[in-house]
Structure 1
Amino acid sequence: MTSKKPTRSSKPARNPRQHETGKGSPGRPGPTRAKRGTAAAPPIEIDAAALPPLGMPAAEFLRDYWQKKPLLIRNAFPGFVSPIEPEDLAGLACEEAALSRLVTLERASTPEGRDRWLLQHGPFEEAMFPGMPHQDWTLLVQDVDKWDADIAVLLEAFAFLPRWRIDDVMVSFAAPGGSVGAHVDQYDVFLLQAQGHRRWQVDAAPNPPLEFRDDVELKLLREFHPSHDWVLGPGDMLYLPPGVPHHGVAEDACLTFSIGMRAPSAAELLGDFVDTLSADADEALRYRDPDLAPARDAGEIDADAMNRVVEALNVLRMNDPDRLGDWFGRFITIYRAAGEVMPSGDERSRIEIEWDLQHGGTLWRHPWSRMAWRRSQGKSRGARLYVSGQDYALPVRDAQRIANASMLDGPGYASLSEVGRDRVFELLGAGHYRLQLDDGEEE
């Protein structure tokens, strides 16, 4: 596989276009009979050709599958043609700013031995790829949607989910036999087959074993007992809730797109929450005991003391929903950010930029810029816009339009209120937008 360097683009381009273990005929699961008086269980495999990408209304998918059970979706993207080639991915893996990994499987030489898994982190040398073996390795690159506009377009198919919940599109190339081993993810993921064929095995049984091997750097499962076994081709997609053991192996040279969710752990939420509380805390708020009685035992921390500790901590709690919402909006729009938005250094005046917008110019959001918005819960009827860890007060309509638009043209910019246009100009100066002129050149 020879590599070619990718080019960053902030302008969207074109829209991209089994078998199962168990009873039944080859390639299809056996029939399931529902007990009288009970509803049939939702199927674990569906053909979505008539209603892509889920084969059902989004509300039905969220009710029956989301964070509940896996779903194999045949023809989620009928006739799908990958917008990138393996050579593009290899070129991206050579970039300093790209997050890439290479997983190589060294098969055991005897039946009694254990396979070895080797993990390397990029960036990689371009000259390395032509000499790679013909089997048993996988190249993975994170955040490809931030580098390739055609990949970013795929996310429009997942608009039934909150945009701030979607983390990135990771793309993997696997040579035949390539894999990253049997493992679990702690977040929801959609695995879209883009090129070639990959065999996916899933353990959908309740309470599967989740102990990890201690002889590899990767978090691989010590035991894996698949309940389902499928081969996916281009356009097929597998949805997996958090905690479901799975194992993917390339049947031939293949590309797989992994649309992963942002799911901070409780420890991560608590850590950032406590940091925010302590940073904003008034030094005058302290442990108090005006009702102190003579100590029965001077060395004892008694129940009354612990009640006062709880009271002292409760004073710091964010009982105000707007304070709590602002904390979470800032946190989630910067959480797991792999790239940083930097000021562009453009010294052009606002009058010049607005003139360009009136004459066909467009403002494209920076690929690394994350935005979300929230209605204010207090007496104010306004909203807050969250941009990569910062928050701004705006009218609801402005916050909604700015957060949901990857591009603002002249009419879109003009439709904002004065304060909304002020905010966009401020964000442009901070690097969250790039001005593209009518002739296609960027300023």
Structure 2
Amino acid sequence: MAKPKSALPIEVDATRQQPLGMPAEDFLRDYWQKKPLLIRNAFPDFVSPISPEDLAGLACEDGVLARIVAHEREHDRWLLRHGPFPEDMFPTLPQHDWTLLVQDVDKWDADIAALLLAFGFLPRWRIDDVMVSFAAPGGSVGAHVDQYDVFLLQAQGHRRWQIDDRPDPPVHFRLDAELKLLQRFDPTHDWVLGPGDMLYLPPGVPHHGVAEDACLTFSIGMRAPAAAELLGDFVDTLAADADESLRYRDPDLAPAKDPNEIDDEAMRRVVEALNALRMNDTERLGDWFGRFITLYRSAGQAVPGEQTRSRIEIEWDLQQGAALQRHPWTRMAWRKAARGAILYAAGQDHALPVRDAQRIAAADRFDSRSYAALSESGRDVVYELLLGGHYSW
């Protein structure tokens, strides 16, 4: 039975056996999308796998989503710049009051991606990315609110976090900044996080982080599509697939009492026309959602390479010790279907036996042994995905 929200601690100490400071079931029941939680020492003896210099170098690359947020305290003015940035810019930046933020670092750095294994209690398709931020002393992005769950892991240095944990906090935004900053922020809690400490925030909790010294923070953010985004994409899919013969029909039309009125019978026929699109068909809905949620809405995607080798040659290479590595931008998930399962990979769907779908969705890498464990249809799909650029040697 869940405890009353007011009786739950907002700060806990982690152990190696319980990195959340409690069993994952308790965290999901009592905190997930309900209440913030500061977890001290969630990653004990943590050493950042990326340096500020590495992050700055990544922010200079084409195709990387990077921003710099600077705060002019004297005028309370916030400045926003978008990357990629020239390498010679960073030595010219001031010693304080700015932050570099780089999205999707888990797609560019395997050591950052490995951190996601610690969040295996969550559906993998719910995790969007790991954003890494470097902040000079005093650096911040201002008081703001996110509409998705986020775990804020302190990786290097120290950051002061303030949050407003009250019910229905004010969330009016400033009109004088390009960023969506809060007009008013009244914190109820104030902490300084060091390396290995982690703050979980559910959607809608106002928060403000300021670097106490030069620091790195990892933001493990969840993907939470807005209802309007879901509806728009689903309706677009329905419209694209709709049979032209499905139309508004009125074979039972009676003489109009008022030819200018849209009456109840007309609206009933509108509903019938929409229902013909099978909007509430769970199988169709499931297939659409699987394709939708495995397709990234950001910068990168896999593209077909110049793969001209036959499947026999590829399987021979696997037997000789080679391996296939999944493209970092290829997201996968699966679901049960009427006859087995459907594997979703970067917006594509593939019918497979359940075991194959599970194995392919879970594996970032295939060697000869794991490849051989697949059925013939599973190996067919891996080869097809390889041709599409979703695997590389």
Q: Structures share a fold, TM > 0.5?
A: yes
1:320 maps to what in 2? Answer: 281
Out of 338, 345, 351, the position equivalent to 1:393 is 351
The yes-or-no answer on 1:373 pairing with 2:331 is: no
The yes-or-no answer on 1:200 pairing with 2:180 is: no
Out of 64, 77, 96, the position equivalent to 2:43 is 77
Deviations 1:44-92 (A, max 9, x none): 0000034342111111100000000100000000000000100000000
Task: Quote the offset at 1:349 in angstroms.
Answer: 2.0
1:417 maps to what in 2? Answer: 375
What's the % identity of the aligned pairs?
Answer: 76
SS at match of 2:7: coil
2:364 maps to what in 1? Answer: 406
> Which of 420-429 and 229-238 deviates more?
420-429
1:384–1:38 distance in 2 versus 1, CA, 3 Å: closer
Q: How far apart in 1 are the matches of 2:378 and 2:281?
A: 25
The yes-or-no answer on 1:252 pairing with 2:218 is: no
Q: How far apart in 2 are the matches of 1:390 and 1:153?
A: 25
SS at match of 1:194: strand
User: Quick one: which amino acid aligns to residue 388 of structure 2?
Assistant: A
1:233 maps to what in 2? Answer: 194
Conserved 8 A contact 1:366-1:433: yes
SS at match of 2:209: strand
Conserved 8 A contact 1:193-1:236: yes
Conserved 8 A contact 1:189-1:239: yes
2:22 maps to what in 1? Answer: 56
1:172 maps to what in 2? Answer: 133
> Which of 45-54 and 264-273 deviates more?
45-54
2:242 maps to what in 1? Answer: 281
Out of 88, 92, 101, the position equivalent to 2:58 is 92
Task: Quote the offset at 1:40 in angstroms.
Answer: 7.0
Conserved 8 A contact 1:52-1:75: no
Task: Quote the offset at 1:312 in angstroms.
Answer: 1.2
Q: List structure 1 segments (4+ residues) > 6 angstroms apart after TM superposition.
A: 37-40
Q: How far apart in 2 are the matches of 1:102 and 1:340?
A: 24
Q: How far apart in 2 are the matches of 1:285 and 1:79?
A: 62
> Which of 281-290 and 392-401 deviates more?
281-290
**What TM-score, normalized by structure 2, do the two folds share?**
0.97
Q: How far apart in 1 are the matches of 2:308 and 2:238?
A: 38
Q: How far apart in 1 are the matches of 2:129 and 2:218?
A: 10
Q: How far apart in 2 are the matches of 1:42 and 1:172?
A: 30
Q: How far apart in 2 are the matches of 1:202 and 1:324?
A: 38
User: Quick one: which amino acid aligns to residue 181 of structure 1?
Assistant: G
1:272 maps to what in 2? Answer: 233
1:360 maps to what in 2? Answer: 321
1:337–1:399 distance in 2 versus 1, CA, 3 Å: farther
Out of 302, 307, 310, the position equivalent to 1:346 is 307
1:38–1:214 distance in 2 versus 1, CA, 3 Å: closer
1:66–1:88 distance in 2 versus 1, CA, 3 Å: same
The yes-or-no answer on 1:296 pairing with 2:244 is: no
User: Quick one: which amino acid aligns to residue 232 of structure 1?
Assistant: L
1:323–1:227 distance in 2 versus 1, CA, 3 Å: same
Q: How far apart in 1 are the matches of 2:94 and 2:192?
A: 23
Q: How far apart in 2 are the matches of 1:68 and 1:40?
A: 11
SS at match of 2:186: coil
Deviations 1:159-207 (A, max 9, x none): 1000000000000000000000000001000000000000000000001
User: Quick one: which amino acid aligns to residue 67 of structure 2?
Assistant: R
Conserved 8 A contact 2:11-2:39: yes
Deviations 1:302-350 (A, max 9, x none): 1221121112111113343221111000000114242010112122222
> Which of 314-323 and 398-407 deviates more?
314-323
Q: How far apart in 2 are the matches of 1:395 and 1:253?
A: 50
Conserved 8 A contact 1:337-1:368: no
> Which of 405-414 and 350-359 deviates more?
350-359
User: Quick one: which amino acid aligns to residue 183 of structure 1?
Assistant: H
1:146-165 matched pairs, under 5 angstroms: 146-165=107-126
Q: How far apart in 1 are the matches of 2:4 and 2:353?
A: 49
Task: Quote the offset at 1:288 in angstroms.
Answer: 1.3
Task: Quote the offset at 1:373 in angstroms.
Answer: 0.6
SS at match of 1:316: coil
User: Quick one: which amino acid aligns to residue 87 of structure 1?
Assistant: E
Conserved 8 A contact 1:183-1:221: yes
Conserved 8 A contact 1:49-1:74: no
SS at match of 2:276: helix
Count the aligned residue pairs. Answer: 391
1:317–1:156 distance in 2 versus 1, CA, 3 Å: same
1:301–1:196 distance in 2 versus 1, CA, 3 Å: same
Conserved 8 A contact 2:296-2:329: no
1:25 maps to what in 2? Answer: none
Task: Quote the offset at 1:426 in angstroms.
Answer: 1.0
1:427 maps to what in 2? Answer: 385
1:218 maps to what in 2? Answer: 179
Conserved 8 A contact 1:93-1:123: yes
Conserved 8 A contact 2:148-2:222: yes
Task: Quote the offset at 1:116 in angstroms.
Answer: 0.4
Conserved 8 A contact 2:5-2:30: no
